[in-house]
Structure 1
Amino acid sequence: MEADGDPGESEPFRRPTRAEVAAAVGRGLVDVIGPDLRVLFCGFNPGLYSAAVGEHFARKGSRFWPALHRSGFTDRELRPWERDELLRQGLGITSLSNRATARADELTSAELVAGVTGLAVKAGRYRPRWVAILGVTAYRIAFVRPGAGLGPQPDRLGPTRVWVLPNPSGLNAHFPLPALTAEFAALRQEIER
């Protein structure tokens, strides 16, 4: 099978088959998390492709990694399997729900609301400076803030401030990569103040 990644690059996983992706329904991913992060990025839930390979934002063409780099959070574009390097740069990844689905709209509102409790526990334990929710829709549902927009929010998770970023999914046509990068950069600039 063809490896997922750039030609000539050593990938730690092979591209999963359609059957393997379909079999990933309901699987979870291990958080990329550690103490005192600058930002803990929090998505809705893992996609099936990511769950099949065991890495966050693993699908080739994911806009998360380019936006992270182009916004200045990382000195180069990291790959999904570079968890240790992501942590060294003070960044982590988690999800509101750790149940892989084909589409985010397969999650229930109750799952997203319940995810805030788990996220608060993680924030209390690891104490990131910011939690960045990846998707205003997820934030509105999970935090019961129907009118919320992008940027800093009034909510806190213990000592941790909350920021909402656009969902980096390629399906989010409202935010092409340059606009997505600009939103990521606004958070980075706030952190560096």
Structure 2
Amino acid sequence: MPPILTDLIIKDLTVIFCGINPGLKSAWDGHHFSGRSNRFWKVLYQAGFTPYEIEALNDATILDFGYGLTTAVARATSRADELSKEEFDNSIETFKIKMTRFQPQYIAFLGKPAYMAFSGKKQIMWGHQPEDFCGAKVWVLPNPSGLNRGFTLADFIVHYRQLLNAIKIDTLH
């Protein structure tokens, strides 16, 4: 059984990026988004969140920028669709406790499945969601997994940059 991937989280983050669950490679490596085909670090940099592209090996440096990483479900799989509805249901309380304890300003769910499971909604749009979750504003962004072929790199950058722009606007108020 693969090890549990440790969250990168501290109190009062600007954004906690929430993956659906760890990929097997990330769990074994002990670093978030370490799969060769995963585009998270490239997208984060190109969208303007970080001044350089963080390497998965240095994933903890994301905390230096006010961002953190967690997953909705802790169990690592090769594909997120291997998770059961029960696994999401059993993860909700733990996730809520974590968000309440650490109080990020924003939760960015990477992909729709986790937020759909946690919110109970059958349909959601990409981007900002109308209700908060544990006091945080919610955004749903495309999942950067290499298995997600529905989005180009440019598409990802547009979606992630919209979140960054919203954060900048909130900061001005």
Question: Normalised by the size of structure 2, how large is the TM-score?
Answer: 0.92
Q: Deviations over 1:52-85 (max 9, x none)?
A: 1111101123200011001100000001132442
Match of 2:54 among 74, 78, 84: 78
Q: Which moved more, 1:155-164 or 1:89-98?
A: 155-164
Over the matched positions of the two proteins, sequence identity in percent amounts to 38
Match of 2:94 among 109, 118, 122: 118
Residue identity matched to 1:180 = F
Residue identity matched to 2:88 = L
What do you get for the CA RMSD once the two structures are aligned? 1.4
Residue identity matched to 2:28 = A
2:37 and 2:28 map into 1 onto residues whose CA distance is: 16
Larger Rg: 1
Match of 2:146 among 170, 173, 187: 170
Q: Deviations over 1:111-168 (max 9, x none)?
A: 1133232222111111111000000133223321111111111332322111100111
- Aligned partners of 1:67 and 1:184 also within 8 Å: yes
Residue identity matched to 1:51 = A
Is 1:184 paired with 2:160? yes
Shift of 1:170: 1.3
- Aligned partners of 1:40 and 1:131 also within 8 Å: yes
1:105 and 1:71 map into 2 onto residues whose CA distance is: 27
- Aligned partners of 2:20 and 2:113 also within 8 Å: no
Match in the other structure for 1:154? 130
1:123 and 1:142 map into 2 onto residues whose CA distance is: 13
1:28-177 equivalent positions in 2, closer than 5 A: 28-177=4-153
Shift of 1:188: 0.4
More helix by share: 2
SS of the residue corresponding to residue 81 of structure 1 reads helix
Q: Which moved more, 1:49-58 or 1:109-118?
A: 109-118
- Aligned partners of 1:113 and 1:143 also within 8 Å: no
Runs (4 or more) in structure 1 with deviation over 6 Å come to none
1:66 and 1:83 map into 2 onto residues whose CA distance is: 12
2:147 and 2:60 map into 1 onto residues whose CA distance is: 28
1:102 and 1:42 map into 2 onto residues whose CA distance is: 17
- Aligned partners of 1:41 and 1:92 also within 8 Å: yes
SS of the residue corresponding to residue 137 of structure 1 reads helix
2:113 and 2:151 map into 1 onto residues whose CA distance is: 14
Stretches of structure 1 lacking an aligned partner (at least 5 in a row): 1-22
Residue identity matched to 1:170 = G
